[in-house]
Amino acid sequence: MALPPSTKPLRADTERTVRAILEAAERVLSANPAATMEQVAEAAGVARTTVHRRFASREALIGALSAWAAQRFHEAVEAARPETTPPDVALYQVTANVLRVKIGWGFAMGALPTDAPEVASVHADVLARCERLFARLRDTGVLPPDADLDWARRVYYALIHEAATQAPDTDAAMDALATRVVDTLLRGIGTRTTT
């Protein structure tokens, strides 16, 4: 049972269990990617056999976890409407939204390269949107005309990844973190006066 997205409406019971397992898997696996199913089960507060009843194999569990996180990820990017908002606003919004997801679902999102077509397509879609956003940033003059957009995007990803290692408690801190990422991306950490 690899849980094909829409089998049948799950019983309230089951839904709770599945979520508990996914959340536990995220926590446990992010701490130790080689953790066993038993550790996940224990963290979820269920028996090991229950995990196996919901997810046929370890592979299936990780697949479902990736799919779940990919869904959230996609929503986070969607919600920022990066195609229609002014690019600098979009950059900030996307950053803030993605950070929110990435904190707490860090393992599921990028830990290991997922081959599930569903997840891959989400990542590809987000990648394309990101590239378009950066192109718009360049055309708007936020980035120089000769900017290496691929490098820019990779630096952006890396900064988000780095920022996500801190888990701010308040919403204000979250916003401050997003601001810092955008700021560092665009202006670096050096003194502006020089050169």
Partner DNA sequence: ATAACTTGCAACATCAATGACGCATGTTCT
Partner DNA sequence: AGAACATGCGTCATTGATGTTGCAAGTTAT
* Residue 45 binds DNA, judged by CB under 7 A: yes
* Residue 32 binds DNA, judged by CB under 7 A: no
* Residue 187 binds a second copy, judged by CB under 8 A: yes
Judged by CB under 7 A, the number of residues near DNA is: 22
* Residue 19 binds DNA, judged by CB under 7 A: no
Stretch in the footprint of a second copy (CB under 8 A) among 4-12, 15-23, 158-166, 168-176 = 158-166
- DSSP per-residue codes, the chain: ----S-SSPPPHHHHHHHHHHHHHHHHHHHH-TT--HHHHHHHHTS-HHHHHHHSSSHHHHHHHHHHHHHHHHHHHHHHT-TTTS-HHHHHHHHHHHHHHHHTT-HHHHHSS----HHHHHHHHHHHHHHHHHHHHHHHHTSS-TT--HHHHHHHHHHHHHHHTTS--SSHHHHHHHHHHHHHHHHH-SS-SS--
Which residue lies nearer to DNA by CB, 50 or 184? Answer: 50
Residue 12 touches which of DNA, a second copy, none (CB < 5 to 8 A by kind)?
DNA
By CB under 8 A, name the binding residues for a second copy.
33-34, 141-144, 147, 151-152, 154-155, 157-159, 161-162, 165, 180, 184-192, 194-195
By CB under 7 A, name the binding residues for DNA.
10-14, 17, 36-38, 45-50, 52-54, 56-59
